[in-house]
Amino acid sequence: MKKVLFFLFIIFGTTIFAFTGESMGKNAADYDAGTVLIVHYHRYDENYDGWNLWIWPDKPKSMDGKSYAFDRTDDFGVSATVKLDEKHSRVGFIVRLREWEKKDVTTDRFVDIPESGVAEIWVIEGEEEFLINPEKIDLTPRVKIAFLDSLSEIFASLSAPVDTKNVTPEVLVNGSSIEIETFEKADPTDVSVTNYVKIKLAKPLSAECVSEELSLKIEGFLSSEIIVRKALDDPQFFYG
């Protein structure tokens, strides 16, 4: 059954979508199965080639896993309906690229199966937490985390790829923008676009700045605070 996008609205630059599921009011017997897991998967670049699911029963007894293809598209992205013969109370899943070339997230994830025997989830690229309520889904790309690793360098992980040649970030100290020297891929082996970026400041921050409010803005992404990390290894923070 096709998912229906029934409204969209924007709040402060955040795009909120609302979807309907296909499992409402159904039980596993309606699918001729003991347990059913419906997985919807969204990638920001809309490239789903080679991505698939690895599913295994986890409770009450852990069992061997098996791969399942995303076999249809919907307004959210792609989806798959996994039917298991036996009744299970919890099922594990991994979204992977082909035969373990890559995982969407590194951790194993688990879905509690309700009494109906049918669970339906929505999974967003790079987000460890999945959604069970499709009524308000935020698909806006975001700066997942940003670290100040020296007084002049910031490393950030993004939920979606960015072309560092065509986008200019903004670093703010207490709301005031400071000058940036370069914005580039943190991993030089990445091709054209990347989820992991490095920002070099035109001038190192003063020691006093590490206790101020630091934030990172990138066009098209939700902003993030900058966490002071390896910058604290600078010799000027050692006394004695």
What digits encode the pLDDT tens for the residues 140-171? 888 989 999 999 999 999 988 899 999 989 99
The label of the residue with tokens 């599921």 reads 21
Calpha distance 224→2 (Å, rounded): 35
Q: What is the pLDDT of residues 104-137, one digit of tens each?
A: 989 999 999 999 999 999 999 988 999 998 887 8
> Which has the closest alpha carbon to 91: 76, 102, 75, 80?
80
Structure tokens at 159: 């939920």
Instruction: Kindly state the average pLDDT of the residues 202-213.
Output: 95
Q: Which residues contact 9 (CB under 8 A, 6 or more apart)?
A: 16
Q: Determine the topology of domain 5-138 in CATH.
A: Immunoglobulin-like (2.60.40)
Instruction: State the span(s) of the chain assigned CATH 2.60.40.1110.
Output: 5-138
Position 1 confidence tier, pLDDT thresholds 50, 70, 90: very low
Instruction: State the span(s) of the chain assigned CATH 2.60.40.1130.
Output: 143-237
Q: What is the pTM of this model?
A: 0.71
Residue 21 has pLDDT above 70, yes or no: yes
What is the CATH architecture assignment of 143-237? Sandwich (2.60)
Structure tokens at 176: 């005031």
